[in-house]
């Protein structure tokens, strides 16, 4: 009997990775949905006896889909596949009726384990692993970047969540090519604005180079100080301590997440604090002729019920793009 | 090779016992590996901020993630001499610190590496730049002849106080004044005498105003003062005091002793004032009336002045 499987994820790379992780000798009919809304529609059409569901999606996210499934009493087995690996995310989806939770990036072994655990599909012996199913659609590089950023930011958020004991609300990463002038404008905003602080840190390895830039809203400091149980006056030096602690975690974990997925190793430079005393434009001006464009991945973190906002910008140099694309194509194909 | 790297390298275990101590650490601290290996770091170096350093290290052990600290947070972890003890200007070595988790075979982190970079030159340059920028900031706000605020910065403050009043409704008054017959002083005694008259006027203005009042040189011989927490009547006490002090003062040029006076216009900020330009205009009108009525006097703006001046 053919089983209908629905893969609901906004990233084409993630959809492809998921489809390829399904056992190839399994009699299934696989459909795809690019966001929660389309996923729900497909479910209602009976296309998903089993649903592999991403959490961070535009239009309607995974949590909303889980809610809608309950409200509409749709019968489907839901396996959440997410880069958001905070313990709280796991508990939330299980309490909302998901069968299980798989960390991104998925591989065939994880999926087989789940199938075996719930008796969905008999697991072949280890000596005779099944061949992965081919999903033949194109994955755009931007989608590849986005999905890699998605997994990496999930790991960083997990560390932050564990350190501060909070739930971090994860956004959908934005991938863009920035013109030199656009970046300059964005940086000038930070430098001119007294109410934000920033840290930038360079990284390099395997033909890939860039800088991570963490931009922090100063109003966040009070809430962070409260979370780490720092009592005392929050002056400039305390802000700097907090800024360095948070940036070590977010930048470090995110870069490590990216490096692991691309199978490279990055050296990290020492972080530099951007404040009113550092003229960001001067830093950039000296670099004018060297590059025109930069690949930017923007991740805006928020913490639930707190006024904590910070934005992580990962900027890759133009000449890193061929290496990046090559590494991504290894993952895709 | 690693021994001769010119950065400090230390390996610590979870009890903060020293496992590795390279020659940079040995030479700068004076402690040999024999002195420190196997000992608790905080027992050997009593001046290390223990709780601070532990907090940073524990997140590295727990999260298996690097941590960085800069000299801006703490100038140094170990108090070492400046590497250039003779020609360098800093008394000690500024340090950036990186803490890296060292993963064991089973994937757990039982040791951390501490890397100490000498960043004295960078720190000294940046601190110097900061001082220079602060001085530049003061220079860009100051009128060189009088040391009062210059017009540009004073107008910024005026706009600021205007906006503040919209929120807090505190009384605030604006005084504009200028030196009577200033052109004649210049023509008779020369520009240097004119400059001296302006300088003396500014000095008396600074003497008469309160610390919080905001005084600027508005134009050649024109001055402006924002009086915080002052009604027009309060402002009148101030302007009369200033006017009399100026009237009594003398500026000596050679054998001549110059006598001079000022005319002053006052307006307090009310609900009806639309914008700060209007506020300025009202003080100006009052000043104009003071001139018309014979100079060497203070006039408070009222709406009837609007009709009087075209």
Distance from CA of B137 to the nearest CA of A (A): 12
pTM of the model: 0.68
- What ranges do the domains of chain A cover? 3-118, 141-332
Question: What is the pLDDT tens value at each position of chain B, 310 positions in all?
Answer: 667 788 999 999 999 999 999 999 999 999 999 999 999 999 999 989 998 899 889 889 988 888 999 898 889 999 998 888 788 778 899 999 999 999 888 888 999 999 999 999 888 888 888 888 888 888 889 999 999 999 999 999 999 999 989 888 899 999 999 999 999 999 999 999 999 999 999 999 999 999 999 999 999 899 999 999 999 999 999 999 999 999 999 998 888 889 999 999 999 998 888 899 999 999 999 999 999 999 999 999 987 776 544 3
Between CA A326 and CA A266 the distance in angstroms is 17
Instruction: Give the Cα-Cα-Cα angle B281, B204, B183 (nearest 5 degrees).
Output: 60
- For residue B155, give the nearest of B144, B163, B166, B147 by alpha carbon: B163
Given the cut 0.85, state whether the ipTM is greater than it.
no
- For residue A285, give the nearest of A191, A180, A194 by alpha carbon: A180
Is the CB of B96 inside 8 Å of chain A's CB atoms? Answer: yes
B-chain residues near A163 (CB < 8 A): 59, 62-63
Task: List, in sequence order, the alpha helices (H) in A201-300.
Answer: 220-227, 236-262, 280-285
Between CA A255 and CA A247 the distance in angstroms is 11
Is the CB of A163 inside 8 Å of chain B's CB atoms? Answer: yes
Q: Which two tokens stand for residue A273?
A: 């604090």
B-chain residues near A268 (CB < 8 A): 66
Sheet of strand A50-53: strand arrangement: A28-33, A3-8, A50-53, A77-82, A100-103
Between CA B10 and CA B21 the distance in angstroms is 5
| pLDDT (tens digit per residue) in A150-167 | 899 888 888 888 877 888
CB contact under 8 A, A248 and B66: yes
Distance from CA of B61 to the nearest CA of A (A): 12
Q: Which two tokens stand for residue B310?
A: 């075209």
Full DSSP string of B221-277 = SEEEEEEET--HHHHHHHHHHHHHHHHH-EEEETTEEEE--EEEEEEE--TT--SHH
Per-window interface: B 106-145 vs A, CB < 8 A? 117, 126, 129-130, 133
- The beta-carbon neighbor of B59 closest among A163, A268, A270 is A163
Dump strand ranges (E) for B70-161: 95-103, 109-118
Is the CB of A201 inside 8 Å of chain B's CB atoms? Answer: yes
Residue A254, classed as helix, strand or coil, is helix
CATH topology of domain A3-118: Rossmann fold (3.40.50)
Distance of CA B103 to the CA centre of its chain: 47
CATH topology of domain A141-332: Chemotaxis protein chec (3.40.1550)
Contact at 8 Å (CB) between B182 and B197? Answer: yes
Is the CB of A169 inside 8 Å of chain B's CB atoms? Answer: no
């Amino acid at each position: 009997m053919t089983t209908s499987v629905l893969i609901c994820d906004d990233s084409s790379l993630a959809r492809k990775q998921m489809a390829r992780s399904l056992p190839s000798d399994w009699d299934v009919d696989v459909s795809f949905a690019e966001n929660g809304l389309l996923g729900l529609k497909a479910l209602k059409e009976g296309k998903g006896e089993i649903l592999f569901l991403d959490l961070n999606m535009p239009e309607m996210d995974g949590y909303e889909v889980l809610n809608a499934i309950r409200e509409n009493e749709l019968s489907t087995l839901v396996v959440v596949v997410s880069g958001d690996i905070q313990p709280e995310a796991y508990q939330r989806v299980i309490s909302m009726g998901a069968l299980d939770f798989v960390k991104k990036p998925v591989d065939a072994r994880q999926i087989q384990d789940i199938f075996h655990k719930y008796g969905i599909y008999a697991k072949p012996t280890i000596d005779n692993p099944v061949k992965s199913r081919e999903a033949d659609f194109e994955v755009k590089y931007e989608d590849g970047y986005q999905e890699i950023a998605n997994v990496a930011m999930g790991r960083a958020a997990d560390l932050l969540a564990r350190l501060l004991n909070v739930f971090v609300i994860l956004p959908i990463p934005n991938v863009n090519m920035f013109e030199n002038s656009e970046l300059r404008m964005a940086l000038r905003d930070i430098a001119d604005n007294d109410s934000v602080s920033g840290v930038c840190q360079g990284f390099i390895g395997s033909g890939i180079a860039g800088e991570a830039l963490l931009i922090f809203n100063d109003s966040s400091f009070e809430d962070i100080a409260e979370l780490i149980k720092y009592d005392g006056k929050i002056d400039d030096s305390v802000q700097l301590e907090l800024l360095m602690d948070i940036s070590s975690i977010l930048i470090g974990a995110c870069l490590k997440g990216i490096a692991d997925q691309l199978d490279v190793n990055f050296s990290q430079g020492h972080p530099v604090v951007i404040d009113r005393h550092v003229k960001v434009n001067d830093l950039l001006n000296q670099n004018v002729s060297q590059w025109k464009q930069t690949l930017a991945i923007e991740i805006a973190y928020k913490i639930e019920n707190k006024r904590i906002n910070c934005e992580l910008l990962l900027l890759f140099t133009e000449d890193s793009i061929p290496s990046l694309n090559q590494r991504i194509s290894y993952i895709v194909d | 090779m690693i021994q001769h790297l010119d950065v400090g390298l230390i390996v610590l275990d979870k009890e903060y016992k020293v496992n590795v101590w390279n020659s940079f650490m040995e030479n700068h601290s004076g402690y040999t590996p024999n002195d420190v290996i196997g000992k608790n770091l905080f027992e050997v170096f009593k001046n290390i901020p223990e709780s601070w350093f532990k907090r940073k290290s524990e997140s590295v052990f727990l999260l298996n993630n690097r941590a960085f600290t800069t000299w801006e947070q703490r100038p140094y972890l170990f108090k070492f001499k400046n590497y250039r003890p003779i020609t360098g200007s800093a008394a000690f070595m500024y340090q950036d610190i990186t803490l890296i988790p060292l993963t064991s075979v089973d994937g757990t982190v039982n040791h951390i590496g501490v890397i100490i970079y000498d960043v004295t030159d960078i720190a000294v340059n940046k601190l110097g730049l900061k001082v220079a920028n602060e001085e530049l900031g003061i220079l860009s706000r100051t009128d060189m002849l009088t040391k009062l605020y210059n017009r540009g910065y004073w107008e910024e403050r005026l706009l600021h106080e205007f906006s503040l009043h919209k929120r807090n409704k505190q009384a605030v008054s604006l005084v504009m004044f200028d030196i009577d017959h200033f052109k004649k002083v210049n023509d008779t005694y020369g520009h240097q005498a004119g400059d001296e008259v302006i300088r003396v006027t500014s000095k008396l203005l600074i003497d008469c105003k309160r610390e919080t009042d905001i005084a600027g040189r508005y134009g050649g011989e024109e001055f402006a003062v924002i009086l915080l927490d002052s009604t027009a009547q309060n402002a009148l006490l101030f302007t009369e005091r200033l006017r009399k002090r100026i009237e009594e003062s003398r500026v000596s040029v050679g054998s001549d002793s110059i006598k001079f006076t000022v005319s002053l216009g006052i307006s307090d900020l009310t609900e009806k004032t639309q914008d700060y330009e209007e506020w300025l205009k009202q003080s100006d009108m009052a000043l104009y009336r003071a001139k018309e009525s014979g100079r060497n006097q203070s006039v408070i703006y009222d709406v009837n002045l609007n009709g009087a001046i075209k």
